[in-house]
Amino acid sequence: MTPYKEQLLPLEKVFRDPVHNYIHVQHQVILDLIDTKEFQHLRRIKQLGTTSFTFHGAEHTRFSHSLGVYEVTRRICDFFLRNFPKEKMGAKGWDDSERLVALCAALLHDVGHGPYSHTFEHIFHTNHEEITQQIITSPETEIYQVLNRVEAGFPEKIAQVIAKTYPNPQVVQMISSQIDADRMDYLLRDAYYTGTEYGTFDLTRILRVIRPYENGIAFQINGMHAVEDYIVSRYQMYVQVYFHPTSRGMEVILDHLLNRAHFLFQKNPDFFNYSAPLLVPFLKQDFTLQDYLMLDDGVLNTAFLQWLKAPDKILADLAAHFLYRKPFKSVQFNSETDLEKLNQMKNIIEEVGYPTQYYTAINSSYDLPYDFYRPEAISHRTQIELLEPDGTLIELSQISPLVAALAGQGQKDERFYFPKEMLKCEEQSQLFEKKYQAFQDFILNGKIK
């Protein structure tokens, strides 16, 4: 009987996909992993969280993204096997016995994401990468049971790839580096579903010039312009889509809403026991892996609907802001020069009747479009290497003026968020009119830039 790890489907299965056309599944292991309840859970979690409040088409899920990352990885493995096998290239070639490790890690890399992932993590102190590893290595999960059938210790191998400690750097960098299957898929997929062109790049060309070498993955130097295009696309997506002020304004509301629920639970647990029972373990800060896997975007949204009728006015109001898309407005500021003005704005907001703890926020977005190796850094990024015809390697920014201009240059956007109602006076009293006017003066006169 053919060992489980070598079992191929009698006829490959395909998933129709708007980004990659077809996603090809040939291994029984991969199909079995897709059918697990933990992986199917990803169908109920949006890839981009609150971004759909800005770009209404962004309703795609982490399920579709995970399949996409698997497909890109499969194509890389096929290309490496055809052109750069270890048998021909030696230590710098591709060992195809690593294929199943790479494919499983690609498929499962995001399986630990929860609802509205990053905001939820901030409030309840979870970590999706740690939970991903826990799902993969916990005997209570269906994913572990499938992986463990491959061979003893196989789940731990997949977890090592996620943790970036797996001994084969080619496999790790295929899944996690500054140009990897994960980023390649999400840029194209997010651009498609948001209806933007910023994230598009020449994936076909990049997958043609990618090369294995002994210490990881490089790119043939004549494909440099395709890699440059990828870097610029990533930069544009962060500036124009991922860091969009409106999406961040909705994240601020979500953050305050969950914080308010966490605060109120200490005083009135009974309300949450019936209005949001699946959230209670997290409000108590005492949850299990199974509790975590019961959550999805629908669970949170259902709780928010219940909170519309909450006796606490702040909780009910924030729930309405989130469900009915009433984002906080924002103004850019400089944290080095404008803090005094921000404090004055907060005071006005408080005096008008909005508790600033729940109706204002300072939100900073920050991303490095590309970074080179920094030995002094606490967390190193794997720099992009270009392979010259003579076999030598050169770091991308050393030869690309375009990337050199972006390398190490963090893109930062600092914003102060406040209720949209502060831009118009709905009260008739002269006192409120003066306070609204004073608030608008800070913004309209350009004092906060």
| Helix/strand/coil for 207 | helix
Q: What is the pLDDT of residue 378?
A: 45
The tokens describing 264, both together, are 């109120």
CB atoms within 10 A of CB 195: 10
The one-letter code for the residue type at 429 is S
Helix ranges (H only) for 353-429 are 356-359, 401-406
What distance in Å separates the CA atoms of residue 195 and residue 175, rounded to the nearest whole number?
26
| Helix/strand/coil for 36 | coil
DSSP-derived pairing of the beta strands 216-220 and 385-387: parallel
If you count them, how many residues does the chain have?
A: 449
Q: How far apart are the first and last CA of the chain?
A: 70
Q: Which residues contact 370 (CB under 8 A, 6 or more apart)?
A: 178, 231, 234, 384, 396, 397, 403, 406, 407, 408
pTM: 0.94
Cα-based distances in Å from 278 to 149, 217, 384: 32, 43, 43
**Beta-bridge partner residues of 94:** 85
The tokens describing 207, both together, are 């997958």
The one-letter code for the residue type at 120 is F
Contact 223, 388 (CB under 8 A): no
Q: Which residues contact 408 (CB under 8 A, 6 or more apart)?
A: 368, 370, 371, 372
Of the CA atoms within 13 Å of residue 175, those in its CB half-sphere come to: 29
For each of the chain's 449 residues, which pLDDT tens digit applies? 789 999 999 999 999 999 999 999 999 999 999 999 999 999 999 999 999 999 999 999 999 999 999 999 999 999 999 999 999 999 999 999 999 999 999 999 999 999 998 888 988 889 999 999 999 999 999 999 999 999 999 999 999 999 999 999 999 999 999 999 999 999 999 999 999 988 899 999 999 999 999 999 999 999 999 999 999 999 999 989 999 999 999 999 999 999 999 999 999 999 999 999 999 999 999 999 999 999 999 999 999 999 999 999 999 999 999 999 999 999 888 777 778 888 888 998 998 889 999 999 998 887 667 765 444 444 456 899 999 999 999 999 999 998 888 876 666 788 999 998 887 776 656 766 777 777 777 776 654 54
